[in-house]
Every structure is written in structure tokens, then in C-alpha cells.
Chains A and B, each alone.
Chain A
């Protein structure tokens, strides 16, 4: 699959300070999460991809187009929802989105039509003629999303889209993002330090730490792999025979203290078979749990090791 974003030794410096340190990655997912603690370089990466910062070394490609040489073309393919408040205070919501759509190249009538559609889509249809300055924080976030999608981009950058939202507004925002993702018309880059947002919306995650790639993983694959990883607690004399029998069935086993065993099941082997073998060997299984390596575990591991691989 062609990468949506390819980071090719991308380095960004502000004066002497290195903000992004030779990033290398090929992001191919439909929705990609950018994770990292504050100051990790998430927003700087997005801003660099948008052409706001000049790379001091390396480059990046979006849909195969170099951000250094094809910046305008790249920007015609993307929609951007910034982290901070960004609007024109005196304008009504629909007027503002229309202006943004026109600047993206849409003819006047289409821009107006799409501005109305986008406002209804994000749930602000009833307030679209109100001045943006009078909107609540949640409404401003939704209006920012509306302007980001009104021109029909192929790649959508969402920088902390749930910032400052109350729980119902957050749920609505996440639902909107999931809906956009599931339609499959565009790719998403969601930058957040909220693991839950990324876990709910993304299938690929790039974790940054101190401007470096701390980890890069495919959440879908992780979830699949976790389903094959078991931890059991056994009681019985023939524990050794039980492990031997499981290995014969193709399992990888790692015995621990007090009858604890870690198992990686091969594809096609059902958990039921485990109980059968245990019964045959006269071993009791007192506890069985699937490994649940959540994004939080992945994130924490990346923050500890920061060696770039999981």
C-alpha cells in the first residue's frame, strides 16, 4: 500500500533547538494517531507537513508529493483543524466556512452549499448564522471541523479535536471522526495526548517523544496478536506434562512461579482445547486471562524504552 505520509529523515529546528529529530516512518493507515506527551513535537510535525515550518534536513511526502517542492499541491489535498481557537470573530459561522472553502478553490455557489452542509453535518445547523465570536467552546471546535471538511480534503489533520469539550460534546466529536473515517473517503491524522481518543479513532499510531519516533504500531494487528496471548494459573502435579502437551499442539510456553504460565496460541487452536489437555493431564486451570496490552501499555512502554520498536 502506498504510504499516506512518508517521513524521510525529517528534521526541524527552532534556532539551535531540535524539535523533530530525523523522523523516519511510512504511515499507511486510514486513520493515524499521533501520540506523545506535551512538547513531543506532534503539533510541530503537523505544522511542518502543512508547510508552516521549513525542515532543516530531510523531507516528508504526502500522497507521494514532497512537502518542500509541492507545498501548494499538498495543501490542496488537506483539511486542517488546529488545536487553538482559530476563527474570524465578526463573521457568521456559515460565512466563515464559505470563505475558507472559497480559499481552498471552490467556486462561490459550491462553497456556500458545502458550508451549509458541513454545518448541518457537525450539528451546528441551527446556529450557522450566528457570529463565531459568540459560539461556546464546543461549538467552536465543531465549526473548526466544519471548515476543515467543507472543501472535501483527502487527508484531514485533527490537532487535539476534543480539547476542552465536555463529555457529551467529546462523544459527539469522536462519533463524527469515526463516521468520517468509516466512510473511507479520506485519511485522518489525529494528534492527541488523550489515549482514549486515539484508541477509539485510529488504526495506526505513531508515538513521539522528544521529537523522535518512540514507537510506531498498528493497533489492529496489536489487538489481533493480543487475542492469541494467554496467561493462566494452574494447580496440579503434572504441570510439566501439561506444558509439554501444549507445546506439541504448537503453543509457545513460558512457565512462571506458583503454577503461572504464559502461552502464545497458534492460529486455529481454540481455547477449549487448552481445557481439554489440562483435564487429560489432571491439571486444574484456576485462572485464564487474555493479555490486554492496551494503548496505554504501549504508550508507557514507549515512554520507558524509546527505542523506536515494539
Chain B
């Protein structure tokens, strides 16, 4: 019907699958994010480090390239090992934290501030789908800057080094993938929960950093005062770093973790404690979301 025929008519066309309907939310969110020049530039900049790493891998396997720049023996100085991949994961994860702090607060708070939730949930669209939709905005963006380039680097190294290397180091790929997902899930849930509770975006963004850095400082103070290591339970990057260390190297680790996610020597917590602390944090975030994501707010 042409728009000039101003009349109401019922809809009798087909409907989309209810399983994939939540992906409507990230599609609209990406269009919105794309309008921000700062975010676009920042996001592109996050790929610089993986590109440099890809270049390092290429140069390391290309003797003639090394000869060209006058350092023929330099390939012996560069080693593509667990430290290399952990440092890629560490850098990219830190950038993911900044990204989550920039875009996370804008996910739920505008909907809450303008009562848009009642409109979302008055449709055949559940609270779980709403949260999944909002989560997927963060998950997709952070995946593209963490485990996707990580696995591509692993693939490139495997391609240049040979299939045997890939087989021997399959653990690196799994650790990268699982470690990045752990970080993404924690960050996404925390960003959404803060966005749902703090309606002012800059404050929600600042709180993201606060949860990571202020809590870590508080934990360190507890450690010093109480002469204990349990204060690290408040340090999310320490908890994640401990799990990464086990994922990459197992119990007999030779390093002290990824950059920005270092685990102080002799102060590492039992693995199950780290998992439990992160699981508790995720549950708290889910509870916070469940309390706020409602069609209408009930004042009892």
C-alpha cells in the first residue's frame, strides 16, 4: 500500500523465526555505534596490535625479509610461544575492558530511562531474549577483537610452522578461545548490570573501571594489612589471570601470566576459588539484571 493512502490495515505477511529475533537488537546497536566516530576509530585501533603480531610471525618465518632489514639472525630472538599468545590476549582483553566501559553503559540505561522496556516486552520477546540481544552487542564486538584475531594468529603460525606445530600447541588455541570467552562473559554481564542500575552513562562507565581497579586496590590493602593472599578475590584481573595461567600452562606454569593480568608469585589462589569468585560475580550481575529488566517497575 502506498503511504499516501492513510488508512489502517492489518498485517497478513510472514513472521521471522522467534529463535533469531534477539539478533535484531545488535543489528540496530551496531548501526547506532557506527555513527560515533570516536568509537569507530578506537575499534579499528584495537586491531593494530594483532596486525603487528601477524607481521612478527611473518617476519620470523621469512629469512629474506630479515636479511632485507639487516638483521639476518633476528628470528632466533623472536619466539612464538605461550608468552607471545598470552601477551596478545592480555593486550586485547585490556582494550576490551575499555570498549565495554564505553559502549556497555549505553545498552540498557537509555531503555530504562525512557521506559522503552515495556514496549520491548509487550511483544513476543522475553526478558531473556532482551538480555541476550544486549549481551550479543558486546560479545560480538569483543570476540572480534580478542579470540578471533588470536585464533587467526594461531592459524597463521601453524600455516607457516607446519601442521605438527599446530598439533603440539593445540592447547594454546583452546586456552586463547576459552580464556577470551571467560573475560568477555564477565565483562559483558558486568557492563549490562551496571548499565541497568546506573542510568547516567559516564558514571556507569567510571564504575566499570572502579570495579576492576578500585576493588583490586582494596584487595591489595587487605592483603597487606591481614598478611594474606585472599584479598585477591576482589581483584577480577587477578582471578581471570590465574585461570588463564592454568588454561595456557597447566599447574606447572613457567610464567606469571599475561600482561595486565599478572599473578603475583606465591600468591596464586586455588583454581576452584577463582572460578567460584567469578561465578558469584556473574550470578550477582544476572540477579541485578533480573531485578531491573521488567516491563514495569513495581513500587511495593
Asked whether, in the complex, the Cβ of A53 is within 8 Å of the Cβ of B9, the reply is no
Whether A152 lies near B9 (C-beta < 8 A) is yes
**Docked-complex contact B11 and A100, CB < 8 angstroms:** no
List residues of chain A with CB within 8 A of the CB of B126.
72
In the complex, are the beta carbons of A121 and B8 less than 8 A apart?
Answer: yes
Q: For the complex, is B272 an interface residue (Cβ under 8 Å from A)?
A: no
Residues in B whose Cβ lies below 8 Å from that of A116 = 3
**Residues of the B chain whose Cβ atoms lie less than 8 Å from the Cβ of A107:** 13-16
Within 8 A of A (CB), among B88-115: 110-111, 113-115
List of A residues within 8 angstroms of B292 by Cβ: none
Q: Are A105 and B111 in contact (CB under 8 A)?
A: no
The answer, yes or no, to whether B119 is at the interface (CB within 8 Å) is yes
CA distance A76 to B114 in the complex (A): 23
CB-CB < 8 A to B16: which residues of A? Answer: 102, 105-107
Q: Which bucket holds chain A's interface residue count?
A: 35 or more
Chain B residues near A154 (CB-CB < 8 A): 10
Given A147-B119, A179-B8, are A120 and B13 neighbors across the interface (CB < 8 Å)? no
Number of residues of chain B lying within 8 A (CB) of chain A: 40
Q: Select B8's contact among A75, A147, A149, beta carbons within 8 Å.
A: A149
Contact A105 B124 (CB under 8 A): yes
Most buried by B among A80, A103, A120, A186: A103
B4 contacts A by Cβ under 8 Å = yes
Q: Would you give the shortest CB distance from B6 to chain A, in whole angstroms?
A: 5
- The CA of A99 and the CA of B133, in the complex, are separated in Å by 13
Contact B300 A53 (CB under 8 A): no
Task: Tell whether B273 is near chain A: CB-to-CB under 8 Å.
Answer: no
When distances are taken between beta carbons in the complex, the residues of chain B under 8 Å from A151 are: 11, 123
Contact of A117 among B3, B13, B18 (CB under 8 A): B3
Q: Are A104 and B298 in contact (CB under 8 A)?
A: no
Q: What are the interface flags for A93-120 relative to B under an 8 Å C-beta threshold, 1 for contact and 0 otherwise?
A: 0010001101111110010001011001
Residues on B lying within 8 angstroms of A by beta carbon are 1, 3-4, 6-16, 18, 21, 24, 28, 32, 110-111, 113-116, 118-126, 294-296, 298-300
The contact sample of 6 A-B pairs, CB cut-off 8 A, is: A47-B296, A89-B114, A90-B110, A120-B3, A183-B8, A186-B10
Given contacts A80-B118, A106-B15, A107-B15, 12 further A-B contacts (CB under 8 A): A47-B296, A51-B121, A72-B126, A89-B114, A99-B28, A105-B15, A105-B123, A105-B124, A107-B16, A121-B7, A121-B8, A151-B123
